[in-house]
Amino acid sequence: MKFSIISNDPNSLARTGLIENDHGKIHSPVFMPVGTIGAVKTFSPFELADMSFEIKLGNTYHLYLRPGVDIIHKAGGLHAFTSWEKPILTDSGGFQVFSLARLNQISDDGVEFQSHLDGSRHFLTPELSMQIQRFLGADIIMAFDECPPGKADSTIIANAVKRTSSWMKRCNNWAENNPELYDYRQTLFPIIQGGVDKDQRKISIDDLVPFAKCGIAIGGLAVGEEKSAMMDTIQFCCEILPIDQPRYLMGVGRPSDLIKAVRRGVDMFDCVMPTRNGRNGHIFTSEGVLNIRNEKFKNDFSPIDPNSAHKWGNLFSKAYVRHLFNIKEVLGIRIASTLNLAFYENLMRTMRQEINNLNFNNWSKDMLEKMKNMKGM
């Protein structure tokens, strides 16, 4: 995999770039829709490609539990199994182990946990995470890390940083000594930890950058910390991370946060927000987030968003989509989720254009000021 910078904003750390791997090209800054268990809910891979998404995300923890890596390996890897021909990134499973599973014990060896599905017992190690991701065959794979809660004390954060560094060495050792299973290369991203403690972030960066061949992730944010502290941490990390590698901010997805993070030098994002919110009837529009279930839309026959980047925004009325949600018709979820993903893809495309046109500083300030008065942004 290789990364090249196309343009730099002269008034911030924002930049556009091109990530190239064996499954295609990714223009950054980029938002990656989340296909946790092999699918972005209610979307075919062809629909995602038609919406101009160039990469999607899958999750090691969920795919390990079901359908299981043996089945995916027999199919020829996650690309073949899901009929997605473009790049894929898989998370290590660490975050889900700490947030979803019933955690029994964490040690330097790994994490013992019970499945959130059936209570079965598992022991996930850095080596097993790498092995699972090798079988899955994603283009970008993530190192196994420990993600502490946002308001964890200094001792817990320091221990997580230390353990993440140790696990990174084990992930790298396994990856270097076990060849790829498919006819393309995988790229391993380290994950920086340290909460909002800049000293711990610096330690984590110093420990992990030597293992970053073409990309590094900023983890452990958007987990309960103050928003201003999160942004300060992003800025701090991006200022000292290698310039010539893509920076991936994990799990941050509110539109205003994407703009702020791009200003601070982030290149890659993922979040379940557009599809999860869509399934709950919350639609991102050019005027803010609509709760389409609201009674006030019962007789509102105006289009959901005439300024939407997707034709459905001007095609379907608020009253109709509200009706679909009230009768639990899956088309309502499809419409809301489609408009949300289109909103996110258009936001990233616009940011790339503004950076390339050397107008990102003015555009982003105006947009962030506008978003202050928009619900849910």
- Residue of 197, 267, 270, 305 marked active site: 270
* Cβ atoms < 10 Å from Cβ of 111: 22
**CA 315/CA 151 separation, integer angstroms:** 45
- Cα separation of the two ends of the chain: 34
Three-class SS of 38-50: CCCCCCCHHHHHH
Q: What is the DSSP letter of 299?
A: T
Torsions phi, psi for 329 (to 5 deg) = -85, 130
The C-alpha R_g of the chain, in whole angstroms, comes to 20
Beta bridge partners of 188: 141
Residue 366: active-site member: no
Residue 139: active-site member: no
Measured CA angle at 315 (ends 310, 321), to 5 deg: 100
Distance (Å) of CA 261 to CA 56, 76, 78, 165, 216: 20, 36, 30, 25, 15
- Residue of 9, 91, 139, 145 marked active site: 91
Amino acid identity at 252: V
39-45, long-range: CB < 8 A, 24+ apart: 39/82, 40/275, 40/341, 41/275, 41/279, 41/333, 41/337, 42/275, 42/330, 42/333, 42/334, 42/337, 43/337, 43/338, 43/341, 45/82, 45/83, 45/84, 45/85
Measured CA angle at 161 (ends 159, 166), to 5 deg: 95
The separation between CA 374 and the C-alpha centre of its own chain, rounded to angstroms, equals 23
Range 178-208 burial, b when 16+ CB lie within 10 A, else e: eeeebeeebbbbbbbbbbbbeebbbbbbebb
Tokens of 10: 């002269």
Q: Which residues are catalytic?
A: 91, 270
